[in-house]
Structure 1
Amino acid sequence: MNLEHINALKTLLSLPKKIAIIPHKNPDGDAIGSTLALWHYLKGKGHNAMVVAPNDFPKFLKWMPGAESILNFEKENTQAMDRISSAEVIFTLDFNHLGRVGQMTASLEAAEATFVMVDHHQEPSDYAQIMYSDVRMSSTCEMVYHLLTYLNAEDEVTSEIANCIYTGILTDTGSFKFKSTTSTTHRIVAKLIDKGADNTAIHSRIYDTNSPSRLHLLGCALKNMVILSEYNTTYITLSQEELDQYNFSKGDTEGFVNYGLTLEHIRFAVIFIENREEGILKISFRSVGDFDVNHFARKFFEGGGHTNAAGGKSDASMAETTRYFESLLPQFKKALTL
């Protein structure tokens, strides 16, 4: 974050403000962790702050301190729209394009607040007056910790803030195994534990709360796995019927795509999940090494993200989409088989 924007943010927050804090649609651990961490800090400084999420978030994140205070735009629409329209400052965390908030987009575009973006995804748009964008960061939660240091507030990190930030770093780094995890990441994690982050309990709450139906859904996903050895690629499909059969709830497919990368020689893993309500297939891309799934998702599937983790969508059927996906692979054979 450059000095000009640090000073601008300090000035902006020097007096109590009415603030809305926004994660992306279908918020994950990093989105919820970063927004709640910032919410705890801003409330502690006397601001009238509130997190407004575009829709619900997974059950395994609802233990997080402050989660019960999050406004759900889908379910609490009038209150959420009032909060956005009356906000003097709007923080957007873990996304960098207003299209990532679904039906909230129009409300944010109409807002007259000062926008502050904190995000680590590639190719940010320019809607924010104050920006902290860094694609090298492991997570937005790691960036929130740095943001607090820029605000001279590192000593104000409470156990609630520490638990929220730790959760986002843990989930967005794949439990610290992704390439974006640095020595700085680990030093921050050590400080968070010292400040009260319960690392053992957090890991258990995130990863050890499976329902039988989720494990059965995972079994279905793995049974559907297609391995394309010629391209060191694998993909999983899940239809709406299969989701319904195993009583799918939000967050149940989190991490399924990563199972493909546990196979020897696989460099590219994808999952296609049907969402009949929205009329699309939601797609997650993962890779190892230098194969850029951000570029792949942006070019072919209206998505984007990071070099090794990205998302996209398709309006076509499952059969049409997977055929199209397979048809793309020959042009990337050299990159996938180096």
Structure 2
Amino acid sequence: MQNLEAFKTLISTPKRVVITMHHKPDADALGSSLGLAEYLKMKGHEVTVVSPTDYANFLSWMHGNDEVLVYNEGNEDKTHAIIDEADMIFCLDFSNLSRINELGEKVREATCTKVLIDHHLEPEDFADFQLWTTEAAATAELVYDLICMLGDKEMINRDIAEALYAGIMTDTGNFKHSNTTKHVFVVCGELAAIGADISKVAKLVYDTNSLDKVKFLGFALNERLKVVQEYHTAYFAISAEDLKQFNSKTGDTEGLVNYALSIEGIKFAALLIDRTEAVKMSFRSVGDFSVNEFARKNFEGGGHKNAAGGKSDLTLEETVDKFEKLLDEYKNQLSNPIKTYA
């Protein structure tokens, strides 16, 4: 972080702090936010964590979850009042204020100090302090690094450690993705030494599924998976009716796109979901194909080189048609088989 000493001085006295994260937060967004919140509370700050939307129930075990203010569940006025009185706003796990929906403009207009902690590409320039690098596997990793930079590693307790571990574990794909570095293992080793129950965290995140979710997974794999062999692409198109049929809750489609990417020979995978207000899209890739560029250019999105999101205001059918036509435009990048490991 640039101006670390100035930042350290700033937080050395109690402040009214707001921490917010991207909409439909995942384990990294929520874990890094709740981990940072607990640390700042221990430092004497008054902290409010705000999520723009709801999130998956399998994340509700995190310490501090009961105090999270969900903005779009009737808490708009309360959140605005808290932001108006805030001394600092921390923006975690997103690089553009559009990622927090209607809350973005309120944060942009706020006159207090803003801090960005993130690892996504092309950050918007709105923060007074930034701890940003695409070399980090997760925002939770950066929160751990920040606490250490501030000389407060000994303040990381079990609750903080488990929240941060969950964020790193999930954003590395359970340590399968290419962003899994030596530093990731060092940090996770330290979190385990502090007391994080890594087996418990993994079970709570990956193995706490409703019967409806498991049945939906089987349906999606059998009925909604399409493979375009010539372009080494696989995708799911999920309708609003499909979601209703299986009583889908927030988080039930998380990770589905990875099943498409797991097929042998696939280098590009997509998940298209009709969320009524828009078609929400998740993209994954292996190798040199940048889904970040694909999402930014075609679907108002972005993220990482090999993991990104986007949206479409067209119908699901029209979005599928647009997506399939785009594959032909990218045929030079997609037609060649992926490189196999020796």
**TM-score, scaled relative to structure 2:** 0.96
RMSD after superposition: 1.0
Q: Which residue of 2 aligns with 1:254?
A: 254
Q: Which residue of 2 aligns with 1:219?
A: 218
**Of 60-69 and 73-82, the range deviating more from structure 2:** 73-82
Query: How far 1:305 moved relative to its partner?
Result: 0.1
What are the within-5 Å matches in structure 2 for residues 1-338 of structure 1?
1-2=1-2, 4=3, 6-75=4-73, 76-222=75-221, 223-276=223-276, 278=277, 280-336=278-334, 337-338=336-337
**Structure-1 separation of matches of 2:319 and 2:330:** 17
Residues 23 and 54 in structure 1, CA contact (< 8 A), matched pair in contact too: yes
**Structure-1 separation of matches of 2:120 and 2:145:** 16
**Structure-1 separation of matches of 2:25 and 2:205:** 14
| Code of the aligned partner of 1:245 | Q
**Of 74-83 and 84-93, the range deviating more from structure 2:** 74-83
Q: Which residue of 1 aligns with 2:340?
A: none
Query: How far 1:18 moved relative to its partner?
Result: 0.3
Query: How far 1:111 moved relative to its partner?
Result: 1.3
**Structure-2 separation of matches of 1:172 and 1:135:** 13
**Structure-1 separation of matches of 2:160 and 2:136:** 19
Aligned partner of residue 327 in structure 2, secondary structure: helix
**Structure-1 separation of matches of 2:89 and 2:9:** 15
Matched pairs, number: 334
Query: How far 1:8 moved relative to its partner?
Result: 2.2
Query: How far 1:105 moved relative to its partner?
Result: 1.8
Percent of counterpart pairs with the same letter? Answer: 44
**Structure-2 separation of matches of 1:97 and 1:334:** 30
**Structure-2 separation of matches of 1:55 and 1:227:** 32
Residues 73 and 81 in structure 1, CA contact (< 8 A), matched pair in contact too: no
Residues 8 and 130 in structure 1, CA contact (< 8 A), matched pair in contact too: no
Residues 22 and 93 in structure 1, CA contact (< 8 A), matched pair in contact too: yes
Residues 37 and 162 in structure 1, CA contact (< 8 A), matched pair in contact too: yes
Query: How far 1:302 moved relative to its partner?
Result: 0.3
5+ unaligned residues in a row in structure 2: which ranges?
A: 338-342
Query: How far 1:220 moved relative to its partner?
Result: 2.0
Aligned partner of residue 142 in structure 2, secondary structure: helix
Aligned partner of residue 36 in structure 1, secondary structure: helix
| Code of the aligned partner of 1:251 | G
**Structure-2 separation of matches of 1:189 and 1:61:** 19
**Structure-1 separation of matches of 2:6 and 2:184:** 26
Query: How far 1:330 moved relative to its partner?
Result: 2.0
**Structure-1 separation of matches of 2:225 and 2:283:** 14
**Structure-1 separation of matches of 2:198 and 2:12:** 33
**Structure-1 separation of matches of 2:181 and 2:288:** 17
Query: How far 1:178 moved relative to its partner?
Result: 0.7
**TM-score, scaled relative to structure 1:** 0.97
Moved over 4 A (4+): none
